[in-house]
Structure 1
Amino acid sequence: MDNDIQGVRPPFSRRSFLRTSLMAAALGGVTRAFSPCVPQALAETLTAVRPPVFWLQGMGCTGCSVSILNSLHPRIADVLLHVIRMDFHPTLMADEGEGAVEFMLRSAEENSGGFVLVQEGAVSEEEDGRFCIIGEAGHEEFPLSVMLEKLAPHAAVVLAVGTCAAYGGVTAAHGSVTGAVGVQEFFRRKGIGTPVVNIPGCPPHPDWMVGSILILLDAVERRGLAGGVQEVAASLDAWGRPRAFYGNTTHENCPYLYLFDEGTMAKSLIDKAGCRYGIGCKGPGAWCDSPLRRWNGRVNWCVENALCIGCVQPDFPDGQSPFYQKNLW
């Protein structure tokens, strides 16, 4: 699956490639659906729709960046080199410091209205934003909050990657002194109307991030940048998530669902003869396709090793805590 077929033109048109990818995404199999010729197809069919992407890292653990690096089909190198134009990413780019920030600001100005902004991690305005300084240019420090306020109004769309960026997440949990919030809440306070696509998870599955980009590119291909963004924004669920990945609960697709229906509950984490709802699994209220998509090259997923902690939900972690507590049954 990882070897390219050399010298063979992929049987994909630009449009058919995107549509096939999106059908696979809707069926829960972005990674398993890609064939060996996809890297070549990506290079040949996706060169025209490559808006610049600026990826900002805020208050978080960088786990979302680590997760997308584990994308298998397409491989992350193909995503970065052929699917999107990643012009700024603090962890991945070779450049750094003032020069990198100045380049991003200059490129954003040149592509006003035509670039994609990805936000990883939550946002804070407390202490003039000094809980999260992300760079400097021209002897001016840039807190994340200031950079977002500067760039977001000129972006075509903002992808809030990870639960911290989408809803505040762990960084906004009880006891935090930073005043951390998600991107949409920050935009609400600032009156910024740029569309936001939330891709929650702690961290999100690589498919959720890459697949959301494919959904966006397909819409842009058919309707242009502005029309494509509007189409994507109109297709999100009530919490701003793509329905292709967040359209059903974990519980609905769980392989242990029949045990739940039978009323057979696990007594401990090592007990695989029962449903884990009885020891605290949050699957019935967590909306994502983890059971179908699985993780780490489809080797396992949350409930195989422990249980669902509801990390894709807007009230994570406080509203999903405590994670391991016996439910009434």
Structure 2
Amino acid sequence: MNEKNINCPNITMRLETASVLVNKAIDAVTMNKIQKRNLIWLELTGCSGNIISLLDGADPDFKSLATQMVKIVYDNSLMAAEGEFAMEKLFNMLGKDYILAVEGAVSTKDGGLYNVIGRFKGESITAYRAIKELGEGAAYVIAVGTCASDGGISAARPNPSKCVGVQDLLNRKVIKLPGCPCHPDWFMGTLAYILLFGEPALDERARPLMFYSTLIHDCCPRHPFFEQGVFAEKLGDETCMFKLGCRGPVTRVDCPIRKWNDRVNWPIGDNSPCIGCAMFGFPDKMKPFISYNTT
């Protein structure tokens, strides 16, 4: 059976979206048509998987971002400064122009006490406080990954620290890039678009349409098996995994086109169902991830 899927439009064009935007932004900075913007990257209640994913970017890569597109003012995983010096660099940005990228949910219980990102002038700085102060003053706020976008795994039941997504704490628009983790292309492409043109076109959940406009199901190379009713009965069967619990039919993001690790593979390409990690409500609303009831 031919697995080639013809239902996903402009595959090549969409695959190159991020690299084209990043190259245009770099050219504009080099030619002094636009200025480098300050970037703050906060790692809050989460696993730091999004900054790791960003560092694994290939085309475009992290070096392009860090040296040619923006000035990274603060990121606790990457910066040399630490302690009070790091906090001073962070809060000195208040009142200046900066773009705020946030990964991880925000703990809200007991005033955010369960996620302290540092100490400054003798006070503990909670993620809650950092988001409230830095979020309102940023030119743009980008929620990177599912935890920042909607709480994600950090807010999964029973959610003892009462984690929420960034939007829940801010009275302003937050651009959301859900995914566990966020693909480096999704962040760098969105950031480059902001540098060049401002806010990108967003859907009703504030996700950039250039990356989140189509269902995984519609672009999946196994979609023809679904149409013909040929379903996998166990992991390893190279047909449609809908009956095993695949969440591709309800998940909007372009993983089938973009893939991961320099476009080498993605879950379904490795015979694993999509678990809907880029959907709002993940993980609680996406369980169980695997179902063996294929009747």
State the TM-score, normalizing by the size of structure 1. Answer: 0.81
Greater RCO (CA < 8 Å, at least 6 residues apart): 2
2:113 to 130, 137, 144: 130
Superposed displacement of residue 302, structure 1: 1.4
**Residues 47 and 138 (structure 1 numbering): CA distance in 2 closer, same or farther, change over 3 Å?**
farther
**Residues 42 and 269 (structure 1 numbering): CA distance in 2 closer, same or farther, change over 3 Å?**
farther
What is the alpha-carbon distance in structure 1 between the residues aligned to residue 176 and residue 56 of structure 2?
20
What is the alpha-carbon distance in structure 2 between the residues aligned to residue 107 and residue 76 of structure 1?
23
2:36 to 37, 46, 50: 50
Bigger proportion of residues as helix: 1
What is the alpha-carbon distance in structure 1 between the residues aligned to residue 223 and residue 241 of structure 2?
10
1:152 to 127, 131, 135: 135
Matched, 1:204 2:182: yes
Aligned to 1:312: 278
1:29 to 16, 19, 24: 16
- Structure 2 residue ranges without an equivalent (≥5): 1-9
What is the alpha-carbon distance in structure 2 between the residues aligned to residue 121 and residue 25 of structure 1?
31
Query: Higher mean Cα deviation, 169-178 or 45-54?
Result: 45-54
Matched, 1:266 2:232: yes
Aligned to 2:288: 322
Aligned to 2:242: 277
Superposed displacement of residue 34, structure 1: 9.1
What is the alpha-carbon distance in structure 1 between the residues aligned to residue 216 and residue 261 of structure 2?
18
> Aligned to 2:15, what secondary structure does the other structure show?
coil
Superposed displacement of residue 116, structure 1: 0.6
Opposite residue 236 of structure 1, the aligned amino acid is: L
What is the alpha-carbon distance in structure 2 between the residues aligned to residue 154 and residue 31 of structure 1?
27
Matched, 1:302 2:267: yes
1:77-100 per-residue CA deviation (whole Å, 9 max, x = no partner) reads 111111111100010111111111
What is the alpha-carbon distance in structure 2 between the residues aligned to residue 39 and residue 72 of structure 1?
17
Superposed displacement of residue 107, structure 1: 2.4
What is the alpha-carbon distance in structure 2 between the residues aligned to residue 103 and residue 86 of structure 1?
11
Opposite residue 211 of structure 1, the aligned amino acid is: G
What is the alpha-carbon distance in structure 1 between the residues aligned to residue 231 and residue 66 of structure 2?
44
Aligned to 2:70: 84
- Between the two proteins, the alignment pairs up a number of residues equal to 285
**Residues 282 and 45 (structure 1 numbering): CA distance in 2 closer, same or farther, change over 3 Å?**
farther
State the TM-score, normalizing by the size of structure 2. Answer: 0.90
Aligned to 1:181: 164
Opposite residue 278 of structure 1, the aligned amino acid is: K
Identity of paired residues, percent? 33
